[in-house]
Chains A and B, each alone.
Chain A
Amino acid sequence: MKHIYENHLLWVYRAMKTSRYFEEKMEKVYLEGKQPVFNIGAGPVPGEMHLSNGQEPAAASMIVHLTKNDTVTATHRPHHQAIAKGVDLKKMTAEIYGKKTGLGKGKGGHMHLFDPKVKFSCGGIVGGGIPHAVGAALANKKRGTDWVAVSFIGEGAANTGAFHESMNLAALWNLPFILVVENNSWGISVSMKNSTSVSSNDIRAKAYGINGYLVKDNDPLEMYRISKEAVERAREGKGPSIIEIETYRYLGHFQGDPELYRPKEEVPILREKDPIERLKNHLLRENIITDDKIKNLEDKIFNEVDNAYDFAIHSEYPEPEEALEDVFC
């Protein structure tokens, strides 16, 4: 058992580190063509860009308990969940570059990544993906499998009608469904305190007669433990759960966000408690991995991500007329 646990923690580290390196690279690439004057439509990666740096534990410490048969729906800030779920990194990067080789042949972009091979999807409408995961959970139950469906949302989505309708349905039908609320404190510029009537959304589980869990301080180990319990319960037919994790958003809502709404000192304080560094220190302290091996692992990660970017950069753009394809099958 200890062996499994240790391997899981290494897996979580790898997933978080991959996402972090992928996004740090994206942060730079995104600014290409957007300096000195920021123009959202310019450069190799145009459009909105929502990065998840800091929020990695929410995704990795949950998805480590899932297989490719389990469904994940994610948000407009989807890279950390996509990477943890095993979405094809080359095709995902190419999609963000708007290339023909992308997951959606360049029709989706960074907010609309679909990889049915690993049952991953995301979308740009806040709360919109929750009922999709409920439907996947319904299909799992109808077919008598032990597969589960997990929907990741931000704390802002917990105030949508879709949240309430979906939670009621999932509880009513006792579905293998888990809602993970990544509470990064900010719905664009409005704080949780100014948007939400309760101090945390796990409390709302009571309203549906289901289990609610709160993971404090962006802790990957606690998120791992709680997620394991919720996934096991769902697989055993014990119904849905809500997990809220207090997580951190290092960057703006989107790149180019002037962030006038939050105090300047907030992010440096959060970065000091970086969850990836905390997990790395834990792995070293507990002799789960050595310094040399972690260096090797990181080299592998950097190499994989760099290759994905190379693939995207060197891929062809779609022909303009391809815009007319894929409306129907």
Chain B
Amino acid sequence: METIKEKRKKLTGSKAMIQALEQEMNRDSNIFIMGEDIGKYGGIFGSTTGLYDKFGSDRIMDTPISETGFIGASVGAAAEGLRPVVELMFADFHGVVMDQIYNHIAKIHYMSGGNVKLPIVLMTAVGGGYSDAAQHSQTLYASFGHLPGLKVVAPTFPHDIKGMLITAIRDDNPVIFMFHKTLQGLGWMDQIDASLGPVPEEAYTIPLDKANIVREGKDVTIVGVQMMTVEALKAAEKLAEQGIDAEVIDLRSIKPIDKETILTSIAKTNRLVVVDEDYYSYGITAEISAIVASEGFKDLKAPIVRLAIPDVPIPYSRVMEKFVIPNADNIIDSVKKLVKI
């Protein structure tokens, strides 16, 4: 254990992704990456920086702006036995390629009675908070999580980013790997502490179906994903000063959802706040509330609180964007009301 600890270096989310891709590509020559500006540029959000120089243009393939073309091509390449990793630059761009994602990538294994395996990883950048407005700021966790046949993960911390990306690449099913722009630790965005963290040098895996309790507590459970986990942890620190002990669960996996971790936590805390950087209706907050209402009703002592983007597109102007994306202050307010019930 000590030796592993010594080897741990602090990496950003971006560097953790790159390390995962590099180690896996060294291990398996069937892995290659396709995407827009992933070559010399290194990925707009730093997911592939430096890989072009190491692996060359055959394995790090810049594509035209043809998402249907190259993400559709990943189907044929995967069916032939290769292991394509494709990058959809922004999750917001899913609209131009959704047919390939949900009618083909998600369904072919099922429609073929399990005879065709598609080991595809689709990496895509999500999240707002930097005034990129309605077409470049969405997370869309639920839009992808809604579709049968896709595993969907959204890790928060560099350690999980590396471990879950390696697991995703080794998985024989299609995996949507969502990485949050603010958690990449990029020099040209807000730099937050959570985007830097200890990452073991060697390759390791983290399951794609397990949430992680990132702070233990007894008074209330707060479930978050990516930046909402970060906000929940911030809120929990302040709540602790006021004598409220919050447990924070980092969901990590959108599909499948780790029901057990959530239900076990609520059996202890009896109170639930779910925070989501996606839209309110039909989203993660609704899904988790439904799970708890159906399977953990007896453990609830208060109504469930749902914090999410009200059902509006994400506005440009900073003041309005800050208003619609949930934050630590919203969480603190909700928890304080909730623990009085």
Contact = CB atoms under 8 A, between A and B. Distances in A.
A135 B172 contact: no
Nearest to B119: A329
Contacts, number: 145
Interface stretch (A166-174, A232-240, A260-268, A288-296): A166-174
Interface in B64-80: 64, 66-80
Interface stretch (A20-28, A107-115, A187-195, A298-306): A107-115
B80 A136 contact: yes
Interface stretch (A50-58, A124-132, A197-205): A124-132
A328 B76 contact: no
Interface string B73-99: 111111111101000000000001001
A29 interface: no
Contacts of A130: 72
Interface string A95-115: 000000011111110001011
Contact of A327 (B63, B117, B149): B149
Given A71-B80, A134-B73, A329-B173, A114 B68 contact: no
Given A107-B110, A142-B32, A328 B72 contact: no
Nearest to A106: B113
B108 interface: yes
Contact of A139 (B76, B113, B116, B151): B76
Contacts of A325: 114
Contacts of B114: 105, 325-326, 329
Contacts of A165: 64, 66-70, 72
Interface of B: 32, 58, 63-64, 66-82, 84, 96, 99-100, 103-104, 108-117, 148-149, 151, 172-173
Contacts of A102: 113
A138 B104 contact: no
Given A131-B69, A132-B72, A166-B69, A116 B99 contact: no
A327 B106 CA distance: 8
Contacts of A106: 113
Contacts of B110: 107, 326-327
A112 B111 contact: yes
13 contacts: A103-B115, A107-B112, A114-B112, A125-B99, A128-B103, A131-B72, A132-B79, A132-B104, A135-B79, A138-B76, A161-B68, A326-B109, A329-B173
Nearest to B34: A138
B64 A131 contact: no
B64 to A, nearest CB: 6
Contacts of A123: 103-104
Nearest to A137: B76
Contacts of B104: 123, 125, 128, 132
Contacts of A162: 68-69, 72, 99
A327 B109 contact: yes
A158 interface: no
B29 to A, nearest CB: 10
A140 interface: yes
Contact of B72 (A71, A135, A142, A149): A135
Nearest to A111: B111
Contacts of B96: 161
Contacts of B70: 131, 165, 169
B175 to A, nearest CB: 10
A169 B72 CA distance: 11
A125 B89 CA distance: 25
Interface string A128-163: 101111111111101000000100000000000110
Contacts of A116: 79, 112, 115-116
B64 A172 contact: yes
A123 B100 CA distance: 11
Nearest to B65: A165
Contacts of A107: 110-113
Given A103-B112, A135-B74, A142 B69 contact: no
A241 interface: no
A121 interface: yes
A135 B75 contact: yes
A104 B111 contact: yes
Most buried by A among B32, B74, B96, B114: B114
B76 A71 contact: yes
Closest 6 CB pairs of A and B: A131-B72, A135-B76, A165-B69, A135-B73, A105-B113, A114-B112
A135 B116 contact: no
A135 B77 contact: yes
Contact of B149 (A103, A142, A166, A328): A328
A140 B112 contact: no
B66 A168 contact: yes
A324 to B, nearest CB: 10
Contact of A326 (B82, B84, B113): B113
A73 B68 contact: no
A125 B103 contact: yes
A136 B77 contact: yes
Contacts of B99: 125, 128, 162
Interface string A214-232: 0000000000000000000
Nearest to A105: B113
Given A108-B112, A132-B104, A135-B73, A121 B79 contact: yes
Interface string A247-279: 000000000000000000000000000000000
Given A128-B99, A326-B109, A139 B173 contact: no
With most chain B CB atoms within 10 A of its CB, the pick from A102, A105, A114, A328 is A328
A134 to B, nearest CB: 5
Contacts of B103: 123, 125, 128
Contact of A114 (B80, B108, B173): B108
A104 B112 contact: yes
Contacts of B108: 114, 121
